[in-house]
Amino acid sequence: MKRRNILKLLPLSGTIPFFGFRLTENPPTTGCATTSDIEGPFYIADAPATTSLAPIGAAGEVCFITGTVYYNDCTTPIKNALVDVWHANDGGGYEDDHYRGRVWTDDGGNYSFRTILPGKYLNGNQFRPRHFHYKVSKDGNNELTTQIYFEGDTSIPIDPWASNESAAERIIPLTVDDYENLHGVANIALNIAAPMTTGIEEGVNETPKRSHILNVVPNPFRANGVVEFFVKNPSEISLECYALNGKMVKKIIDKKYFTSGLKSIEIDTNNALDLKMPSGLYILRLLENDVPTDAKRFVLL
């Protein structure tokens, strides 16, 4: 039964937006590629191309998920990868028309969607933990079928799939913003070898169209993390960190000149006042000659 309690989807006022997002059972994995999980009986091919999976007015907690799709080196992003997502509604039921959608990654491998937190449902005499179903592929090849779970879910230890040690990296934390919306980062690494180029090129004769953030490692992190980014042309680069309320927390790089190429810099967990940043979800924004070119989220535990 569909429940239609009114739920206002409040915007994140002042939040720095992402750039470039657009709508559009596996063998054992190698390296750090994401592990597979069961498909379940409710997959439907050719879901709508949309980043909004839940209908307006749907019951449940609003949830924003973002992430990056990588090759199996977990460093090189895959552009134009297809991320097919479906999940249960707030009551734990699957619907044919809602709570499913397809999105494609941008030039930096980023994807995002907005929905609600899936409900639980009985599997025999036990509840399955809340989860998102994923099918991720590049050009229709090397398709990965998997599931994303959430930290603190009391049903995980008794679930045969979520409790498997292979699922450990697919259990993600969720943070809450000022409007009580949930946010999570779910990165996916396909079992595809990265192109034998510079590590950031998609093909021998193809170069990135703009400076962009490749990766935040690890994500989430507790102490220090590393930002990897690519500079297209020699220029002044700034890297800013924002809280979800849109307030700048710190400038990691402030108008520093960089030559073109692949760069990396450490992020510490102190803010501009040299105080430890609270746990939560943050947004990195990259600027080239004062012009924003990319953004990526990371979670501080």
Q: What is the DSSP track for 82-94?
A: EEEEE---TTS--
What is the model's pLDDT at position 208? 65
What is the model's pLDDT at position 31? 62
Q: Average pLDDT by consecutive 10-residue portion of the chain (301 residues)?
A: 28 37 42 92 96 95 95 91 98 97 93 97 95 96 95 97 97 90 95 71 54 88 89 95 88 96 91 85 93 90 82
What is the model's pLDDT at position 55? 94
In this structure, are residues 220 and 186 in contact, taking their beta carbons and an 8 Å threshold? no
Instruction: Name beta bridge partners: 183.
Output: 64, 175
Examine residue 218 and say whether the peptide bond preceding it is cis (omega within 30 degrees of 0).
yes
What is the model's pLDDT at position 209? 72
What is the model's pLDDT at position 1? 28
The total of other beta-carbon atoms located within 10 Å of residue 198's CB is 13
Q: Locate 130 and state its tokens.
A: 């809340």
Amino acid at 202: E
In this structure, are residues 16 and 29 in contact, taking their beta carbons and an 8 Å threshold? no
Count of residues in the chain: 301
How many whole angstroms from its chain centre is CA 262? 22
How many whole angstroms from its chain centre is CA 132? 12
What is the model's pLDDT at position 206? 53
Domains and CATH numbers, the chain: 1-194 (2.60.130.10), 212-300 (2.60.40.10)
What is the model's pLDDT at position 202? 44
